[in-house]
Amino acid sequence: MAATEETNKELVRQSNDEIWGEGNLDVIDGYVSDDYVEHNAASPQPIHGPEGYKENVEMVRSAFPDLDVTTEDLISEGDKVVTRYTLRGTHEGELMGIEPTGKTIEVQGISIGRFEDGTVVEGWSVIDMMSMMQQLGVVEAPQ
């Protein structure tokens, strides 16, 4: 595997641990390019640049302040890194208009990041929102 692919994988590991797991927003400025665009299935509009990325992290971490991210798989090829991860946390703050429930969640997600010159420039993310909504008691599980 090329050195750049390993470097990009390490950037994703750092993002999962420091940004999402610890809430260290300062890391975002060196990780996300100014022209970054994220296509996120849970977001009605694309997320743009470091500021949009920070807003997204703040929204999720304010809803789940004890958020834990486990990186299950990292696959790198060329300029892209695919991550399969598990999110765990307690719903203690508002999330997309849903008042805190105090319930814990464990959901799976997959993200793809495209990198240029050591920063992520484009991303695609899918999180199992249906499972999260069921675990929060917002949506009833099928019988």
The pLDDT tens digits of the residues spanning 42-95 come to 888 999 999 999 999 999 999 999 999 999 999 999 999 999 999 999 999 999
Q: Which domain holds residue 42?
A: 3-136
Residue 130: what pLDDT?
95
- Res 86: pLDDT: 97
pLDDT, residue 42, reads: 86
Q: What is the CATH number of the domain that holds 47?
A: 3.10.450.50
DSSP 42: T
pLDDT band at 142 (very low <50, low <70, confident <90, very high): confident
Does a structural domain hold residue 44?
A: yes
Residue 142 lies inside a defined structural domain of this protein: no
84 part of a folded domain: yes
Query: Does pLDDT of 3 surpass 90?
Result: no
- pLDDT, tens digit, for every residue of 95-111? 999 999 999 999 999 99
Has residue 36 been placed in a domain?
A: yes
| pTM for this model (two decimals) | 0.91
The answer as to whether 12 is a domain residue is yes
Let me know if residue 143 belongs to a domain: no
Number of independent structural domains in the chain: 1
Half-sphere CA count of 1, side-chain side, radius 13 A: 14
CB neighbour burial string for 82-111, b if at least 16 within 10 angstroms, e if fewer: bbebebebbbeeebeeeeebeeebebebbb
